[in-house]
Amino acid sequence: MNLRFVETFLWVARLGSFSAAAERLHTTQAAISNRIATLERDLGIRLFERDVRCVRLTPLGQQAVPKAEELVRVANEFREAVSDPGSLRGSIKIGTIDSIVHAWLPQFIERIRTRYPSVAIDLNTDTSLNLAREVAERRIDLALIMGPVIAPEIINLDLCTFACTWLASPKLALPDKPLTLAEVADQPILAYSKDSVPHHRVLRQLSDIGIEDPTIYNSNSLATIIRLAQDGIGITPLPTVIVREQLAARTLIALDVTPAFPPLSFHAVYSDHPDNLISAVMAQMAQEVAHSFSLAQMDGASW
């Protein structure tokens, strides 16, 4: 029995579509159809009922899913345990957010390249909300985001927590003294995209001091937020570690604002499935890199 055909069966069962499985496995719909037909012929059963719009598992196909998952899990564990990491080939889809890109993502990618030199990385940068949805739908293998994600069969690994600081350009000439949020909230606030964790925290803090209709400029681009803040367009609460260069160059200054902006926590998120072993391994690698980065920041070291 061809293990690749068993893996194909699982992806068709999960996605409910030959075309979606073909996209996920980087092949053609005809190839997927041929693999399923061959597997059904080898087993002497029908695994799927097919119609124009979708495919559905037959009762025997439903019974086959847990056995197929166990077979793939054992095969992957065997491969991981005894193979040379350098011989592992294929690709992994990783989604991440700007805050991690500007912090320790380069070190993580270098760790992958060193351990798995023949594994290609399909990297996508988006919002945590979108990436959480994609990992739950199994459109990406691993998400490095502000989490956690609460969903069935989803694993969350703690990565790191970044302290945040209210920041402004010296061009705004804000007083060099302790300030209340009410004293600076007449400036436009540059915030992460709507519905993000930081966006909701900004709204909550402003609501707590009686400001219900603030001027907020949202962006899903951290580089855009930093640039606008440097140009004096508004103030922004950002993780301190990702604006180290701007603080050193004094193109941004840290404001002593009460209340302080809460720290942000990040997680590695992936599906708990037997054919997703490489994502579990890389999530642990991301955790190691994130922890090392955090320790280096506490020790005052540079990367």
Cis bond leading into 259, ω under 30°? yes
pLDDT the model gives residue 299: 63
Query: Would you call 213 exposed, middle or buried from its count of C-beta atoms within 10 A (0-12, 13-18, 19+)?
Result: exposed
Determine how many CB atoms are found less than 10 A away from the CB of residue 258.
11
Per-residue pLDDT of the chain (303 residues; tens, 9 = 90+): 788 888 889 888 888 888 888 887 778 888 899 999 999 999 999 999 987 677 889 999 999 998 888 887 777 666 665 555 565 677 899 999 999 999 999 999 999 999 888 888 999 999 999 999 999 888 899 999 998 888 878 889 999 999 999 999 999 999 999 999 999 999 999 999 888 999 999 999 999 999 988 999 999 899 999 999 999 999 999 999 999 999 999 999 999 999 999 999 999 999 877 666 788 888 988 999 999 998 887 766 443
Stated pTM of the model: 0.72
Tens of pLDDT along 211-248? 988 999 999 899 999 999 999 999 999 999 999 999 99
pLDDT the model gives residue 83: 55
